[in-house]
């Protein structure tokens, strides 16, 4: 679900950056989560896309409870590595909600009239579960679905052969998705001979994950 926020004293973001949304309960308990910006820098509002996780602490609140006119505590934009400045060629590879920061890049490119700089491949279980599916397809994205056929393509994961025709010398690759997707996609790219230094990765892992104590 999309949330469009009117952020006071906003600092313009670069496509790829995220915001942190913080919820505070009446007893003072707080929980915060990161959400990538889907909107282009030129959009007067900041658009986030939140996937509802049934057993989640924050996402069900943002998708079910928040209403137009409500105020949210947000911090951002955050991130200095996973960003595209709109001037250099890039290969965007996203899985599931991992497409959100890539959508900001596509929208920015469109605003600049530079969609030619981007090659895009996205993957989701089904088309219905792919955020911004129509917009991505219109921008020429290769759409892969792993649990249903898509067009003439049977249900299958993204392969190196899918990515090979999209790769061009001089591109930076931006890979975003779950930890598993990000790992698999970056391995495909590096396996094609793309320098690891040209591959930037953003993982949407559970942000509440705690590392085991030693
Ligand atoms: C930089 C960054 C950008 C992000 N951008 C987005 C975005 O644009 N849209 C978006 O929907 N989410 C995004 N996320 C994920 C988001 O921050 C939360 O982790 C997610 O909304 C779950 O929070 P929750 O409180 O609902 O679930 P939690 O209470 O944290 O977790 C509930 C259950 O879901 C599992 N879980 C947690 N996170 C995920 C996940 N991402 N995928 C699958 N299972 C998970 C947990 O292991 C647990 O079992 C981003 C994360 C990062 C680090």
Mean pLDDT of all residues in 93-99: 98
Interior/surface letters 106-135, b for 16+ CB within 10 angstroms, e for the rest: bbbbbeeeebebbbbbbbbeeeeebbbbee
Q: How many helices (H) and strands (E) does the chain have?
A: 5, 10
Region for residue 170 given its phi and psi (left: phi exceeds 0; alpha: psi -120 to 50; beta: otherwise): left
Mean pLDDT of all residues in 2-23: 97
Per-residue model confidence as pLDDT tens digits over 23-69: 999 999 999 999 999 999 999 999 999 999 999 999 999 999 999 99
Which of 206, 209, 211 should be mutated for ligand 1, with most atoms under 8 A from CB? 206
pLDDT at 209 over 90: no
Residue 101 DSSP code: H
**CB of 34 sitting under 6 A from ligand 1:** yes
* pLDDT band, residue 202 (cuts 50/70/90): very high
SS3 122: strand
> Ligand 1, atom 28: nearest CA belongs to which residue?
56
**CB of 139 sitting under 6 A from ligand 1:** no
> Ligand 1, atom 19: nearest CA belongs to which residue?
206
pLDDT at 1 over 80: yes
Query: Which has more pLDDT, 205 or 44?
Result: 44
* pLDDT band, residue 205 (cuts 50/70/90): confident
Please tell me the distance from the alpha carbon of residue 149 to that of residue 144, in angstroms, as a whole number.
Answer: 9
- Tally the residues of the chain: 214
Which atom of ligand 1 sits closest to the CA of residue 101?
8
* pLDDT band, residue 125 (cuts 50/70/90): very high
Counting residues of the chain whose pLDDT is more than 90, the rounded percentage is: 94
Strand bridging mode 73-78 / 90-95: unpaired
**CB of 134 sitting under 6 A from ligand 1:** no
| CATH classification code of 7-78 | 2.40.30.10
Beta carbons of 143 and 130 less than 8 angstroms apart: yes
**CB of 6 sitting under 6 A from ligand 1:** no
Which sequence spans correspond to the domains of the chain? 7-78, 90-203
Q: Which of 19, 142, 29, 37 is nearest to 92 (CA)?
A: 142
* pLDDT band, residue 206 (cuts 50/70/90): low
pLDDT at 214 over 60: no
Fold of 90-203: Rossmann fold (3.40.50)
**CB of 35 sitting under 6 A from ligand 1:** yes
Please tell me the distance from the alpha carbon of residue 131 to that of residue 16, in angstroms, as a whole number.
Answer: 16
**CB of 17 sitting under 6 A from ligand 1:** no
Task: Determine the distance separating the centroid of ligand 1 and the alpha carbon of 208, expressed in angstroms.
Answer: 8
pLDDT at 104 over 70: yes
Which atom of ligand 1 sits closest to the CA of residue 207?
19
């Amino acid at each position: 679900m999309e949330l469009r926020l009117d952020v006071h004293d906003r600092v313009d973001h670069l496509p790829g950056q995220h915001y942190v949304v913080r919820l505070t309960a009446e007893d003072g308990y707080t929980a915060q989560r990161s959400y990538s910006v889907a909107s282009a820098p030129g959009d007067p509002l900041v658009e986030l896309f939140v996937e509802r996780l049934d057993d989640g602490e924050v996402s069900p609140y943002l998708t079910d409870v928040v209403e137009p006119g409500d105020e949210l505590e947000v911090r951002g934009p955050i991130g200095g590595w996973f960003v595209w400045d709109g001037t250099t060629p890039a290969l965007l590879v996203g899985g599931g909600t991992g497409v959100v920061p890539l959508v900001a890049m596509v929208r920015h490119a469109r605003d600049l009239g530079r969609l030619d700089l981007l090659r895009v491949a996205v993957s989701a279980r089904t088309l219905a579960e792919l955020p911004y599916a129509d917009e991505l397809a219109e921008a020429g994205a290769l759409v892969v679905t792993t649990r249903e056929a898509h067009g003439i393509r049977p249900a299958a994961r993204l392969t190196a052969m899918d990515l090979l025709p999209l790769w061009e010398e001089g591109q930076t690759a931006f890979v975003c998705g779950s930890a598993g997707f990000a790992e698999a996609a970056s391995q495909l790219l590096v396996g094609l001979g793309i320098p690891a230094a040209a591959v930037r990765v953003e993982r949407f892992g559970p942000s509440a994950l705690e590392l085991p104590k030693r």
